[in-house]
Amino acid sequence: MSRLANIADSINNALLFLGKPDSLKWKVFETTNGKLTAPEIAKILNKEPSNVSLKLAFLASKGILIESNKRGKAIIYQKTPELFGLNLKSYLKNGKQKLQRQEVSNPAIKNEKNTTPSSSKIVNKIIEIGQKYQIENIDQNWLDSLVILNFVETLTTKFLMDHGYSEEDVKKMKWEEKNSRLHDKIQEEARKKGFPLRSSTLSIIKNYREQRNNVDHVGHLASSRINPEEVKLLSHILKVFIKEILEEHQKYCILI
């Protein structure tokens, strides 16, 4: 299973066990940051420490939180890597979570989603051919994910060529080198301008090649189906990536 599929499963699992957004479990989850003990979280939420401890243990048992440290006998929890930094409430909008559960047991809904009309006749034709030859995961979600993943590399290549690298240079680079040089360049320029820089997005997309291969090279397998939550996650990563290397970068960039 691809890392993206694991993330989507983690999101679905969290939404299933967290309950309503105003529940104590949800509030405990949102407050957990890998630094606070149960009594400290309880004080922030104005709740009984024993109730918070129970909720933390429950969320850990469901794979939503993991132990990160200990302070004396007190266990300190943090969100799992797949859930860290995500706004889970955004995945509850428009009943998407409910629809996704229905799809598991209702193939008719799944087939209906696969035949959603696209603005491109070619895309529609590809989806139609995929269904004809039982490649059921070739749908709009699969195509959208490939577009996003390929665009990440396109943006990276454009950035490097705008900062001193020739077309011949970038043609010879594999993704790992492109990502490394992009990271080095923005760090270098930020230091020269004394700009405090976070590069968390570049760390997230470091395994971009693996993600794209998991979507592209096993597209013939039913297990490689891409669900709407994965596309939404990819879209969010792309949005933050663009903000970091294009918008934020303009504050300190040094064009060659």
For residue 179, what are the CA distances in angstroms to 72, 154, 167, 173, 175?
41, 12, 16, 10, 6
The answer, yes or no, to whether residue 75 has pLDDT greater than 70, is: yes
Whole-structure pTM value: 0.49
Report the alpha-carbon distance of residue 240 to residue 42 in Å, rounded. 32
Handedness of CA 13, 17, 23, 25 (dihedral sign): negative
- Give the pLDDT band (50/70/90) at residue 144: confident
Tell me the three state secondary structure of residue 76: strand
pLDDT in tens, 145-193: 888 888 888 888 988 888 888 888 998 888 888 888 888 888 887 788 7
pLDDT in tens, 120-136: 677 777 777 877 777 76
Average pLDDT in the 75-84 region? 87
Of the candidates 217, 215, 210, 218, the one whose C-alpha atom is nearest the C-alpha of residue 174 is 210
Q: What is the pLDDT of residue 98?
A: 42
